[in-house]
Amino acid sequence: MLLDFNNLGINNLQPQTEFEKKVIFFVEEWQSDSKTVKVQTSGSTGVPKVFDIEKEKMLNSAQMTCDFLKLKKGNTALLCLPIEYISGKMMVVRSFERKLNLFVADPSLKPLENLHQEIDFCAMTPLQVENSLDKIHFIKNLIIGGAAVSESLKKKITQTLKLSTSETKIYETYGMSETLSHIALKNIYPNPDEYFTVFENIDISKDERGCLKIIASKLNSEILQTNDLVDIKNTDQFKFLGRIDNVINSGGAKIFPEQLETLIKKEITNEAVFLAIEDESLGQKLILVIEGSENENLKSQISNLTFEKSFHKPKKIIFIEKIPRTPNGKVNRLELKKKLSV
């Protein structure tokens, strides 16, 4: 299904799938007299919730992204994310704001499977990109969100695109439902960057814990206090270190699991998550959960890795058939902890 936001005629559209029907329903909701729309959170860091967002603020967010990527009226975009969440809704709003031609593809692990033409703009999850490497050269501007982009996926992206003549630009996003999708992008390809760059009219700082504080009045009237530990380089660039509620305190030493996961994923292709289990002497004991069948060679490979600190080496490695994820692809650490405690 194609939505031409330069000349939109909803009544002439004939949706073929349930997803296309949901997209049309949201477009009708967007065009209604209501000043707000309802958005559901993913539940990756807590209980999922539904809240109302002002359309005006969503338009502000859309403009920031479109300006950053230099999208123009008449450009093409592809929607392949669930429309229930802010990520999917914002693809529609960006198309509305910039008068894009929006192609609609049912969300799946291979959303580009039937793509045979160039697209100016698309947003995908890391899992979708992982399963679409043979087609990403068709996307001129690709943003990846919903979960961190692993080092192994970054390598695959670079290896794939270097073999093509594509001028594809790929970015990792930083944001949350409360910031109406992302407020910062970090280049992955062709010029990888270590720091996220925030959009204009957004101020960042750290609280006393070292967590990111965001002032983005065009997106949210409140000061947004995150639980994300960051290193701030300057007024518009920062590096994500990890979530403070994921920090592991083992024998008095603070461990940032996300940083260790980045190290591990440079060496192995399996999904890997560092967690803590209660321990009498250490307080919390560091363990590593790997998705896949028990593998002694993999265990040996991890044991031989050089960690910055001795206490960064996991005390135990557990293999699990499937690591639980939220509907939009994020690792669900809360659910994983529950699984391991059963």
CA pair distance 22, 275, nearest whole angstrom = 37
Comparing 248 with 89, which gets the higher pLDDT?
Answer: 89
Query: Are residues 316 and 285 in contact, defined by beta-carbon separation less than 8 angstroms?
Result: yes
| Six-digit token string for 159 | 């290896």
Banded pLDDT at 68 (limits 50, 70, 90)? very high
Length of the chain: 342
Query: Are residues 213 and 226 in contact, defined by beta-carbon separation less than 8 angstroms?
Result: yes
Is the per-residue pLDDT at 342 higher than 60?
A: no
CA pair distance 258, 198, nearest whole angstrom = 21
CA pair distance 297, 32, nearest whole angstrom = 58
Question: What integer is the mean pLDDT of 99-118?
Answer: 93
Question: What whole-number percentage of the chain has pLDDT above 70?
Answer: 96
Nearest to 92 by CA among 1, 218, 213, 222: 1
CA pair distance 166, 187, nearest whole angstrom = 16
Question: What whole-number percentage of the chain has pLDDT above 90?
Answer: 50
Query: Are residues 93 and 210 in contact, defined by beta-carbon separation less than 8 angstroms?
Result: no
Query: Are residues 137 and 164 in contact, defined by beta-carbon separation less than 8 angstroms?
Result: yes
Q: What is the CATH topology of the domain spanning 2-243?
A: Rossmann fold (3.40.50)
Could you tell me whether strands 253-255 and 181-189 are parallel, antiparallel, or unpaired per DSSP bridges?
Answer: unpaired
Q: What share of the chain is helix, strand, coil (3-state, %, to 5)?
A: 30, 30, 40
Looking at residue 332, its pLDDT comes to 86
Is the per-residue pLDDT at 45 higher than 70?
A: no
For 251-290, how does the pLDDT look when each residue is reduced to its tens digit (9 = 90+)? Answer: 878 888 888 888 888 888 888 899 888 877 778 888 899 9
Question: What integer is the mean pLDDT of 132-161?
Answer: 91
Comparing 13 with 32, which gets the higher pLDDT?
Answer: 32
Q: Where are the alpha helices (DSSP H) in 252-295?
A: 257-264
- Locate the domains of the chain by residue range: 2-243, 247-341
| Average pLDDT of the residues of the chain | 88
Could you tell me whether strands 211-215 and 203-206 are parallel, antiparallel, or unpaired per DSSP bridges?
Answer: antiparallel
Is the per-residue pLDDT at 43 higher than 70?
A: no
**pTM: predicted TM-score of the whole model, two decimal places:** 0.79
Tell the burial category of 124 from Cβ atoms under 10 Å away from its Cβ (0-12, 13-18, 19+).
buried
Query: Are residues 186 and 299 in contact, defined by beta-carbon separation less than 8 angstroms?
Result: no
Please name the residues in contact with 284: beta carbons below 8 A apart, sequence gap of 6 or more.
Answer: 248, 249, 250, 276, 277, 278
Is the per-residue pLDDT at 327 higher than 70?
A: no
Looking at residue 11, its pLDDT comes to 65
Question: What integer is the mean pLDDT of 67-82?
Answer: 95
Looking at residue 158, its pLDDT comes to 93
Looking at residue 187, its pLDDT comes to 96
**Where does the chain show beta strands of DSSP type E?**
2-4, 36-40, 50-54, 76-79, 101-104, 119-124, 139-144, 169-176, 181-189, 196-198, 203-206, 211-215, 224-234, 237-243, 248-250, 253-255, 272-279, 283-291, 316-320
Could you tell me whether strands 253-255 and 196-198 are parallel, antiparallel, or unpaired per DSSP bridges?
Answer: unpaired
Banded pLDDT at 303 (limits 50, 70, 90)? confident
> 247-341 belongs to which homologous superfamily?
ANL, C-terminal domain (3.30.300.30)
Is the per-residue pLDDT at 52 higher than 70?
A: yes
Looking at residue 47, its pLDDT comes to 58
For 159-211, how does the pLDDT look when each residue is reduced to its tens digit (9 = 90+)? Answer: 999 888 888 999 999 988 788 889 999 999 999 999 999 999 899 999 999 99
CA pair distance 302, 267, nearest whole angstrom = 8
Question: What integer is the mean pLDDT of 228-242?
Answer: 92
Banded pLDDT at 106 (limits 50, 70, 90)? very high
